[in-house]
């Protein structure tokens, strides 16, 4: 029996630019042209001031570990427990859920506020996920 696969995102017209970005090796956020608010997840207007004039830009890909769980059970399809589900606070301000790679999935190794950098993981020709790993240096 084939192993169940990880849940795969299906882009919408409003999020396609984000997934085009990860495929191209860029983490894209949006900034409001009117009030400079940087926000996530993607939408074609500013959730702070309602302006429709917003611009997608390439983020630094740097952030820090805001919080996490190490999931033991039940495990999501495509995951081998224990695995950490993390929330990363990006240097630009927004937070996003991700996984921490190249790092033991233990409370000792996963220290809050540790510096992280984006690492892209290709799922298929359409979808590349933004993962994070401990920042080098």
Partner 1 sequence: MRRNSVAVVGAAETTELGVIPNMSQIQLHADAALNAIADAGLKLSDIDGFATAVESPQQVCHYLGIKPTWVDGTSVGGCSFMLHVRHAAAAIEAGLCKTVLITHAESGKSMIGKLPRSIPADSLQGQFEAPFGVYGPPSMFPIPVLRFMKTWGITHEQIAMVAVVQREWAAKNPRAMMKDPITVADVLNSRMIAYPFRLLQCCLVTDGGGALILTSTDRAKDFPRKPVYILGTGESVETPMVSQMETFNSSRAFKVAGPLAFKEAGIAHKDVDHLMIYDAFAHLPLYGLGDLGFMPYEETGKFIADGNTRPGGKLPLNTNGGGLSYMHSGMYGMYALQESVRQMRGIAPAQVKDAKISVCHGVGGMFAASGTIIFTNEK
- Identify which of residues 8 and 53 has a Cβ nearer to partner 1 in the complex: 8
| CB-nearer residue toward partner 1: 14 or 33 | 14
Bond prior to 99 in cis (omega within 30° of 0): no
Minimum CB separation of residue 11 from partner 1 in Å reads 7
Considering the complex, state which of residue 64 and residue 137 has its C-beta at the smaller distance from partner 1.
Answer: 64
- Least Å distance between CB 2 and partner 1? 18
Which residues make up the interface to partner 1 (CB under 8 A)?
Answer: 6-12, 15, 19, 40-41, 66-79, 82-83, 85-87, 95-99, 107, 112, 123, 129
- DSSP assignment of 48-115, as one string? TT--S-EEEEE---EEEEEEEEEE-SSPPTT--SSEEEEEEEETTS-EEEE-B-SS-SSTTT--TT-E
Q: Considering the complex, what minimum distance in angstroms separates the CB of residue 76 from partner 1? A: 4
- Whose CA is closest to 121, among 21, 22, 35? 22
Q: How far is the CB of 34 from partner 1 (least distance, A)?
A: 21
């Amino acid at each position: 029996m084939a192993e169940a696969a990880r849940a795969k995102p299906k882009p919408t017209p409003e999020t396609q630019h984000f997934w085009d970005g990860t495929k191209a090796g860029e983490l894209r956020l949006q900034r409001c042209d009117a009030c400079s608010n940087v926000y996530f997840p993607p939408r074609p207007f500013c959730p702070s001031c309602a302006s429709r004039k917003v611009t997608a830009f390439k983020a630094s890909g740097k952030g820090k570990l805001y919080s996490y769980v190490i999931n033991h059970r039940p495990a999501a399809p495509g995951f081998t427990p224990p695995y950490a589900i993390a929330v990363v606070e990006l240097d630009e301000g927004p937070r996003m859920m991700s996984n921490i790679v190249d790092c033991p999935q233990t409370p000792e190794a996963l220290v809050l506020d540790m510096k992280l950098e984006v690492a892209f993981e290709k799922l298929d020709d359409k979808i590349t996920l933004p993962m994070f790993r401990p920042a080098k240096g």
